[in-house]
Amino acid sequence: MPRVKCPKCNKVETILRSGFIRKKQRYFCKECNYNFTLNHENRKAKNKSRKNYQTTILDIGKAMGISATTVSRALHDHPDISLSTKISVKEMAIAMDYHPNLLARSFANSQSQTVGVIIPNLEATFFSSMLGGVQKVASQNGYKVLMCQSNEEYLNEVENVHLLMDSRVDGLLICHSIETTNFDHVNIYRKRGIPIINFYRVNKDSETISVVAKNTEGAELVIEHLLNQGCKKIGIILGPRSLLITEERLKGYLNIHKKHLIEIEQSMIAYTDYTYNSIIEIVDRWLDMKERPDAIFCISDRTAIYVIRHLRKKNIQIPAEIAVAGFGNDLMGELIEPGLTTYDVQTSKIGETSMQMFLDQVKNEFGQITKVHTIEGHLVVRESSLKQK
Amino acid sequence: MPRVKCPKCNKVETILRSGFIRKKQRYFCKECNYNFTLNHENRKAKNKSRKNYQTTILDIGKAMGISATTVSRALHDHPDISLSTKISVKEMAIAMDYHPNLLARSFANSQSQTVGVIIPNLEATFFSSMLGGVQKVASQNGYKVLMCQSNEEYLNEVENVHLLMDSRVDGLLICHSIETTNFDHVNIYRKRGIPIINFYRVNKDSETISVVAKNTEGAELVIEHLLNQGCKKIGIILGPRSLLITEERLKGYLNIHKKHLIEIEQSMIAYTDYTYNSIIEIVDRWLDMKERPDAIFCISDRTAIYVIRHLRKKNIQIPAEIAVAGFGNDLMGELIEPGLTTYDVQTSKIGETSMQMFLDQVKNEFGQITKVHTIEGHLVVRESSLKQK
DNA sequence: TTTTCTATCGCAATCGTTTGTGTTATCGAT
DNA sequence: ATCGATAACACAAACGATTGCGATAGAAAA
């Protein structure tokens, strides 16, 4: 029997073995009625010795003979602390290479100084540019950005929202996926008072704050421009019917037609799911008509580029036979041949404004201002629509 | 004198005012020698009543009459917990809409399940595509992504690194800015054992783990191809001298020239800072030469597109008079006219692999494997270089 | 002197989860 | 009946920073 002392009464005689627990011998002291095992490693010491140990405010305090409280307050310029200690604490912090544990800080005052951003994907310059805008403003205001991609799938989006919320982001900026028609997953959190900003593609719920392009006005500008160029029959290629941008841009198309008292042909209004095939199919259908459209307005620049490539393959002159216009002002539009006429929606600005709206929300704690912010864009005219020079 | 009771001795007579502290009346009990103020708000109750209060494991424990420990272990399927309680705990967790506070969890076991990613910017599809790759693999493996942009500025990069480290990311994936020539800001952390992965643009320090494109081989393929097309004099437009990619791609250029015993003209090797002007300047200089190059190999697709546009303006036939090739395989290269011959570096794959390397690092705690991972790419031949059809 | 301020600082709780180890009841084997 | 084994649970410390409030000394006022 090994000489084991009871940690309580320090006696040896009264100890007897009492089975194993977690692979270790367990002892029992008859006197104190106390079960225990040996091998107490000092966890504290263990942690301190770790290679990547970071100094804490407590370390600074010990080194200076003051409390952690004072160190914390000194670093934050709290009025209770004297100037002299503030200075010396700050010096010591630098000397000891102190870096605050932002995780601990966030946890303590339960705000992470982080926003979550969900975008459909990062392949499209469109979305990445918005993300860039968000990140820029976030960074300028001391916020970090936690980002996710929904890959245009509803279930991914839902999962991402929960992940970000569980990570206790201070707010959420989201551009919904194409599939999303139910917005409960964000509304739950919005009702709890967490700032949620929609951008570009929008939750139709009237209570949300959203930042969108001037879809209707933009479409109006483009259509007006095409008519000015002498186009008589304009085809419009839209996205899925469920998307608000589809709805709004169609509205612009219709508005201008009405304004000029032009009759609308239903065959000239086409919906797609953004895939190459669905787009080409429509163009081919139009080309087969007796009276082809003399202009095609596309829901996006990418769509327009697909159309242009297809028309070129078929040896159709752009813009002479058919003018083409896009929407968005993607970088590519400037580089292709012919240059693409489009409406610049200011993607980066949309991102920046979204983040700004979040910041306003945080400042304005008193009730949330439900607003739709539209970002001014402008028409970009290039060769693809210039019938008259 | 108000009837204030001493919190210790409960007497009233012995109380006297003792100034103000933080805008509140302070009292002093002569008997107990005790200073105090009134107005004790129960902070706990205050927090509980907050609108966005989230249920905790302690709440679940209370509701079920068990300890928080048991709840935690039940949710994590710890063997100590009986099956029946596991089931009921999980049910209760759902019923009470429990969501773990990831901030608290990260703080407790000091790992955030988050990686930091720093890229120069999000405007270039190039970088956003890599970020996309990183995020994809991260998401698949239960990691979150905290992202920053350096805007190609060294100081921003340094600041970002510290911010991410202070946020206690589990690792850092970084594509250095053009300006960066000193790597201390990452090396400090690497030495502390924090996994740091370099991608695309690389820290020349031999100890780092890095994921890069096959720069030299890619350039070799392109140059070989151009020579096969009958080109005799190939100009190469590089980036800044400090970049490794500049160095490596030039190497490929030189290798093939040597292989074919072609003499190298120094005037055909040009460095730029990636700006439009610096690129055009070089092209113009070449065009002014008696013997113009009959092919131009550019460090990036964007550079190549600038060159193509400029040549087209000057009515120079591509590829008949001058063939053009890029590097990277940006989406744009496929859409412009003529289609751009380039080397596909697989940007997304670079991002994915980088994240994978990080994951390997985490698993492989035993010493870090210092390795350079090169991602296989391939030549993409399009019209811009096809002199022979 | 006595009482009242005021400037500085420290104590201890708190945030929610994790985790090492102690506790207890029950059961089988001596 | 005694002792050892095991299953299943609880206690409490720890993570690092923040923060309400109390403590104390010296200055100012009464």
User: What residues contact A373, with CB distance under 8 A and at least 6 apart?
Assistant: A209, A210, A211, A212, A353, A357
Is residue A234 assigned to a domain?
A: yes
Test the A interface: residue of B167, B308, B311, B330 with most A CBs within 10 Å: B167
Is residue A162 assigned to a domain?
A: yes
Nucleotides of D under 7 A from a protein CB: 3-24
B360 vs A9, higher pLDDT: B360
Nearest Cα residue to B279 out of B250, B299, B253: B299
Report CA(B78)–C1'(D12) in Å, whole number.
Answer: 19
- Count residue pairs from A and B with Cβ separation < 8 A: 124
Q: Residue A192 is nearest to which of B52, B125, B163, comparing CB atoms? A: B52
With beta carbons under 8 A apart, name residues in chain B contacting A166: 99-102
Quick one: pLDDT at residue B34? 78
Q: Are residues B362 and B323 in the same domain?
A: no
Nearest nt to the B104 alpha carbon by C1' = C16
Nearest-angstrom CA–CA distance, A136 and A355: 9
What's the average model confidence in pLDDT over B174-180?
Answer: 93
Phi, psi of A171 (to 5 degrees): -170, 170
With beta carbons under 8 A apart, name residues in chain B contacting A144: 146, 163, 167
Test the B interface: residue of A335, A347, A352, A383 with most B CBs within 10 Å: A335
Q: Are residues B303 and B258 in the same domain?
A: yes
Q: Are residues B209 and B356 in the same domain?
A: yes
C3 closest protein residue (CA to C1'): B18
Rounded to two decimals, the pTM is 0.91
Nearest-angstrom CA–CA distance, A240 and A227: 25
User: What residues contact B105, with CB distance under 8 A and at least 6 apart?
Assistant: none
Q: Are residues A123 and A91 in the same domain?
A: no
CA distances from A117 to A163, A189, A260, B81 (A): 11, 15, 42, 38
Nearest nt to the A18 alpha carbon by C1' = D4
What's the average model confidence in pLDDT over B193-204?
Answer: 89
Which CATH number does the domain housing residue A242 bear? 3.40.50.2300
pLDDT in tens, chain A (389 residues): 456 777 777 777 777 777 777 677 778 887 777 777 776 555 556 666 666 789 999 999 999 999 999 999 999 999 999 999 999 999 999 999 999 999 999 999 999 999 999 999 998 888 999 999 999 999 999 999 999 999 999 999 999 999 999 999 999 999 999 899 899 999 999 988 899 999 998 877 778 899 999 999 999 999 999 999 999 999 999 999 988 899 999 999 999 999 999 999 999 999 999 899 999 999 999 999 999 999 999 999 999 999 998 998 899 999 999 999 999 998 888 888 889 999 999 999 999 999 999 999 998 765 667 688 999 999 999 999 998 76
Is residue A107 assigned to a domain?
A: no
Nearest nt to the A108 alpha carbon by C1' = C15
Quick one: pLDDT at residue A46? 60
With beta carbons under 8 A apart, name residues in chain B contacting A139: 148-149
DSSP A341: B
Is residue A381 assigned to a domain?
A: no
Quick one: pLDDT at residue A189? 93
Q: Do B332 and A337 touch (CB under 8 A)?
A: no
Q: Do B145 and A144 touch (CB under 8 A)?
A: no
User: What residues contact A360, with CB distance under 8 A and at least 6 apart?
Assistant: A369
With beta carbons under 8 A apart, name residues in chain A contacting B144: 146, 163, 167
Q: How confident is the model at residue B1 (pLDDT cuts 50, 70, 90)?
A: very low
Q: Are residues B251 and B371 in the same domain?
A: no
What's the average model confidence in pLDDT over B35-55?
Answer: 68
Window from B27-36, B39-48, B102-111 with minimum mean pLDDT: B39-48
Q: Are residues B340 and B231 in the same domain?
A: yes
Q: Are residues B148 and B76 in the same domain?
A: no
Q: Are residues A152 and A300 in the same domain?
A: no
Q: Which residue of A has its CA nearest to B301?
A: A335
> For B21, what's the count of Cα atoms within 13 Å in the CB-facing half-sphere?
11
Q: Are residues B257 and B235 in the same domain?
A: yes
Is residue B16 assigned to a domain?
A: yes
Window from A105-119, B107-121, B125-139, B196-210 with minimum mean pLDDT: B196-210
Is residue B338 assigned to a domain?
A: yes
For B242, the token pair is 């400090």
Report CA(A29)–C1'(C23) in Å, whole number.
Answer: 14
Q: Are residues B221 and B197 in the same domain?
A: no
Quick one: pLDDT at residue B387? 83
Report CA(A18)–C1'(D2) in Å, whole number.
Answer: 12
Nearest nt to the A99 alpha carbon by C1' = D16
Quick one: pLDDT at residue B50? 62
A19: containing domain: 1-40
Q: Is the dihedral of CA B271, B273, B278, B280 positive or negative?
A: positive
B156 vs B43, higher pLDDT: B156
Do B124 and B153 touch, CB atoms closer than 8 A?
A: no
Nearest-angstrom CA–CA distance, B122 and A143: 17
Total domains, chain B = 4
Which CATH number does the domain housing residue B80 bear? 1.10.260.40
- At residue B18, the 3 state secondary structure works out as strand
With beta carbons under 8 A apart, name residues in chain B contacting A129: 122-123
Window from A195-209, B56-70, B215-229 with minimum mean pLDDT: A195-209
Edge-to-edge strands, sheet with A269-271: A269-271, A234-238, A295-298, A323-325
Q: Are residues B247 and B353 in the same domain?
A: no
End-to-end Cα separation, chain B, in angstroms: 105
Q: Are residues B220 and B209 in the same domain?
A: no
With beta carbons under 8 A apart, name residues in chain A contacting B146: 114, 144-146
Is residue B388 assigned to a domain?
A: no
Report CA(A76)–C1'(D14) in Å, whole number.
Answer: 25
Alpha helices in A122-179 (DSSP H): 125-140, 154-166
Is residue A224 assigned to a domain?
A: yes
Nucleotides of C under 7 A from a protein CB: 3-24
Alpha helices in chain B (DSSP H): 43-48, 57-64, 68-75, 83-95, 102-108, 125-140, 154-166, 184-191, 215-228, 244-259, 276-287, 301-313, 332-335, 347-363
